[in-house]
Chains A and B, each alone.
Chain A
């Protein structure tokens, strides 16, 4: 069974967002990591980069394919999980924990409210 935690928000492109005050922590959903299979490469945005909701800010790659990482919210990248470079399997093993991708300081917190909740995302992935 795909894990879809209730306290997160979701995008159509399979990123999750956890609102932490003015910041949003994002990553790849369990569904997406399972579809991709072993993640073997990740490209992160520069810290300080201004990003727009929906923009591809980096990518994760499995053996077979590339998946853009699209930011769920607009703002500024304030942290990226570069530690993952040496333990990329965390994307697969712990997608909502150690496998987080980046933290965005949100310029418009209302954007997060417009994202899918767990129930809507489950529907989106046909579960």
Chain B
């Protein structure tokens, strides 16, 4: 069996009582005190996550943009310096292999963060597709940390660490910021919770000092370490896709509801089938579901209408905010309208649910 990978913060998780599980080959905390408490801490104040299992790939060289245009559905040429762009990575059939964010330092320097479970596959794919391009690919997944600070007090917590005014940073932009750990840290205004906050990326040796500083700065807000369990329930309430659960080489970006991350005016792998699907417009739709009766849908549950199976649930949980079962899944086009009543089959029992357009928990304004 392969060795279990450990993040630079692994010993801290063990020390503070993290309930550890193997996730994507990494020894990761699933929760520390309780998934619900952690979830609510992020919704109401601030939480800190170790998500260092996420991939880290640097692309440099004069063909960087041309190469990224070939492999990504979104158009690297439209990305400004210090901006971030969400994109899908598709195979030749136009099916999503992974979703990720690209970060632009310059025309010949981008950074990309694939998912933890897919990072190795993605890097191999990049290598394979980079033949003939003047690019250099560097995988620093094992050597770099990623700490997310999320919640309505996430901004204030990170701002405490620096004199630099972070307010002008718009959502989905990044900077190199002096956070007081001896080297500037890649500071990205982004996250996977639907809340304000930052994701911080840098070499492993700065992970622990940064974690400790953030814990100290967030003390007055009641900052809590958050495990992967609440990370999943937080993204589910917002209807964010999870690679490997909601799609796994079987769904196109259109089916996944992210047409906005597909730019059809550039050539990319998988474009042909996606264009055809768009023209035909009969593809399944990605939707949210809120249960109208007690029950918790899970990945693999069937969606039915009048006893006839119409599609699969791909993620589900009990929503700590709504205190109801919620889910994500795919339905044929004719059932896509919000308010459509369906049954979700949970252990042979039909539970009534309603189709919604995510997010299931609305964003605060």
Contact = CB atoms under 8 A, between A and B. Distances in A.
A64 B294 contact: no
Given A43-B347, A59-B347, A63-B233, A37 B317 contact: no
B44 to A, nearest CB: 17
Given A37-B19, A41-B294, A41-B296, A61 B318 contact: yes
Interface in A21-78: 35, 37-38, 40-41, 43, 59, 61-64, 66
B347 A63 contact: no
Interface stretch (B29-37, B109-117, B144-152, B305-313): B29-37
Given A37-B19, A37-B229, A43-B347, A63 B298 contact: no
Of B31, B233, B295, B296, most A-chain CB atoms within 10 Å: B296
A43 B320 CA distance: 19
Given A63-B35, A63-B36, A66-B298, A40 B318 contact: yes
Contacts of B39: 63
Given A63-B229, A63-B233, A64-B317, A38 B347 contact: no
Contact of A63 (B19, B294, B295, B317): B317
A43 B296 CA distance: 11
A59 B296 CA distance: 11
Given A37-B19, A40-B318, A43-B347, A61 B296 contact: yes
Report the contact-size class of chain A (Cβ under 8 Å from the partner): 10 to 19
B343 interface: no
Interface residues of B, number: 19
Nearest to A68: B347
Contact of B229 (A40, A61, A64, A66): A64
Contacts of A61: 296, 318
B196 interface: no
A64 B35 contact: yes
B31 A37 contact: yes
A20 to B, nearest CB: 29
- Chain B, interface SS category: mixed
Given A63-B318, A63-B320, A38 B35 contact: yes
B99 interface: no
Of A41, A59, A85, most B-chain CB atoms within 10 Å: A41
Contacts of B325: 41
B232 interface: yes
Contact of A41 (B19, B35, B318): B318
Contacts of A62: 35
Interface string B310-339: 000000011010000100000000000000
Contacts of A38: 34-36
A63 B325 CA distance: 10
A37 B31 CA distance: 8
Interface in B266-306: 294-296, 298
A38 B34 CA distance: 6
Nearest to B36: A38
B229 to A, nearest CB: 5
A85 B323 CA distance: 13
Contacts of B318: 40-41, 61, 63
A38 B320 CA distance: 10
Contact of B296 (A35, A40, A85): A40
Interface string B19-48: 100000000001100111001000000000
A85 B19 CA distance: 26
B34 A37 contact: yes
Contacts of B298: 66
Nearest to B320: A63
A35 B318 CA distance: 17
The 3 A-B pairs of least Cβ separation, nearest first, read A40-B318, A63-B35, A38-B36
Given A41-B294, A41-B325, 5 more contacts: A35-B19, A37-B229, A40-B296, A61-B296, A66-B296
19 contacts: A37-B31, A37-B34, A37-B35, A38-B34, A40-B318, A41-B295, A41-B296, A41-B318, A43-B347, A59-B347, A61-B318, A62-B35, A63-B229, A63-B317, A63-B318, A63-B320, A64-B229, A64-B232, A85-B294
